[in-house]
Amino acid sequence: MTAHSAVPLAFDGSGIDGSLFTSVTDFARDTKWLNTPIDLWTNAGLGVFAILMLIGWWNARRRDTRAMTLALAAPVAVGFAFAVAEVAKKLVAEVRPCYSLPHAYFVDSCPVRSDYAFPSGHSTTAFASVAALYLLDRRLSAIALAFAFFEGFTRVYLGDHYPHDVIGAAVLALPVALLASRFLGRAALPLVTRLRAGALEPLLTASPAGAHAAR
């Protein structure tokens, strides 16, 4: 079977929540002054999750080895969840809304047809960050959750994904990243214990308050 003959087999998700999708994109059409800021944010906003994980690592330097192990595991867990989502994307092969609903309003340009929609990659990264931070710091996880919801909204607002693409990303990313983080938090504990006592000690362990003054 050629690539061209496989295209019609791609899944059309517009029948699931196409009307909700167009309601959001109609809102985007009516708020064109927001189009550019949200378009810029949808990619740049992923940096917020990296910053939250960096804060988690920084704080873990003053905590026990398990906390540091979870901090180091967080980006790995997010990467693993993203990889799983990419496999799911190829299996489901849902075409982007711009192909199924060409008359809707779209802020973003239409990607190539083989760049499938389900699940949303941006939303996967966002919600995986929520789960990866949950075992480390509940407050950072709560902040990440608020930004994850907004990230998901931007994906629909711009016309890149249906709402169910975002929901599917959350349903996939949360348990996968949580399990990966929990596994790595245990499996990598001996390694991080050795690293904290070795050459990487300055990066993994903060000096106690007043230690330098005492010297």
Distances (CA, A) of 11 to 1, 8, 96, 112, 114: 17, 8, 9, 15, 11
Asked if residue 198 has pLDDT above 90, the reply is no
**The pLDDT of residue 86:** 95
**In 51-87, which positions are buried (b, 16+ CB within 10 angstroms) versus exposed (e)?**
ebbebbbebbbebebbbbbbbbbbbebbebbbebbee
Residue 211: pLDDT over 50 = no
Task: Specify the pLDDT at position 213.
Answer: 38
Structural domain boundaries of the chain?
16-199
The pLDDT of residue 16: 86
Judged against a pLDDT cut of 80, whether residue 208 lies above it is answered with no
pLDDT category of residue 168 using cuts at 50, 70 and 90? very high
Asked whether residue 109 carries a pLDDT value surpassing 60, the answer given is yes
Separation CA 48–CA 43 (nearest Å): 10
List the one residue out of 63, 87, 198 whose CA is nearest residue 137.
63
Angle between helices 46-60 and 138-157 (to 10 degrees): 170
Mean predicted confidence (pLDDT) in 180-187:
94
Question: What average pLDDT does the segment 47-69 reach?
Answer: 92
The whole-chain average pLDDT of the chain stands at 88
Kindly provide the residue ranges of all beta strands, DSSP E only, lying in the chain, ordered along the sequence. none
DSSP-derived 3-state class of residue 94: strand
Q: What is the pLDDT of residues 184-193, one digit of tens each?
A: 999 988 888 8
pTM of the model: 0.86
Round the CA-based radius of gyration of the chain to a whole number and report it.
Answer: 21
The vertex-175 CA angle with 170 and 177, nearest 5°, equals: 90
Residue type, 206: A
What number does CATH give the domain 16-199?
1.20.144
pLDDT of residue 195: 81
Rounded average pLDDT over 169-198: 91
